[in-house]
Amino acid sequence: MRLYRNQKTSHRIYPATPPRAGGFTLVEVVTAIFITGLVFGGILAAYIQGARRAEWSGYSLAAQAVGLREIERARSAVWDASSGAERNEITNLPLMNFTATGGAGGIPPMVRGYTTNILDLPYSGNNFVMATNYVTIRRYDILPNKVRVQFMRVDTVWPFAKGNAVRYFTNTVATYFAPDNRDPNL
């Protein structure tokens, strides 16, 4: 600190405003803490949202796999229209609440039912997640007794908990089948 001498007296006097010391004021410290809190709060919120979206994606992929499993089970069934008596095991899939409507020659043009499955997610104990597959199989005769196809749609409904609320989501898989005309005894 630089001292000044009074010209009239020989006493030393200090300047009216002392030089500022190197430090932060309380307002600057509070502002810095507030900005740091906002930054870390944003990072934490982004991390939590990213983890929740990753969990939702895992549930969705597991539900898609369950729906595809039903499609593959129907794809492996026999549908032989080349023999005298048409053999169609696609409409005989093990479905609960099975309903078949109409149909000529004993072959229903539409079959509906559902199955329940556990989603293929990591779990321990009894905290598994159940999904329901609503299956619809519909036969179309494009050219009677010439061109036939079957349409299969699987709607997989699965729950996802967010806080105290549970929301239900649906994954849909659909495909067409043509007769494979194979002898199942070979």
Q: Is residue 153 a part of any domain in this protein?
A: yes
Q: Which residue has the tokens 């969990």?
A: 55
Q: Is residue 8 a part of any domain in this protein?
A: no
Q: Is residue 66 a part of any domain in this protein?
A: yes
Q: Is residue 139 a part of any domain in this protein?
A: yes
> Cβ(71)–Cβ(176) under 8 Å?
no
Q: Is residue 183 a part of any domain in this protein?
A: no
For residue 123, CA distances in Å to 30, 54, 96, 128, 180 come to 45, 16, 26, 6, 39
pTM above the 0.75 mark?
no
Cα dihedral: 112, 116, 117, 118 (round 10): 150
**Choice among 59-63, 77-81, 158-162 with the minimum mean pLDDT:** 77-81
Could you give the count of Cα atoms lying within 13 Å of 123 in the half-sphere of its Cβ? 13
Q: Is residue 42 a part of any domain in this protein?
A: yes
Task: List the structure tokens of 81.
Answer: 């229209």
Q: Is residue 7 a part of any domain in this protein?
A: no
The sheet with strand 165-177 has its strands ordered as 96-101, 110-118, 130-143, 147-162, 165-177
Q: Is 68 helix (H, G, I), strand (E, B) or coil?
A: helix
Q: How many domains does the chain have?
A: 1
* 161: nearest Cα among 46, 55, 49: 55
Is it the case that residue 12 has pLDDT exceeding 60? no
Q: Is residue 162 a part of any domain in this protein?
A: yes
Q: What pLDDT sits at residue 109?
A: 76
Alpha carbon distance 32, 138 (integer Å): 66
* 91: nearest Cα among 104, 78, 105: 78
122-179, pLDDT tens digit by residue? 877 777 899 999 999 888 877 776 778 889 999 999 999 888 999 999 999 999 988 8
Is it the case that residue 80 has pLDDT exceeding 80? no
Domain that holds residue 120: 31-177
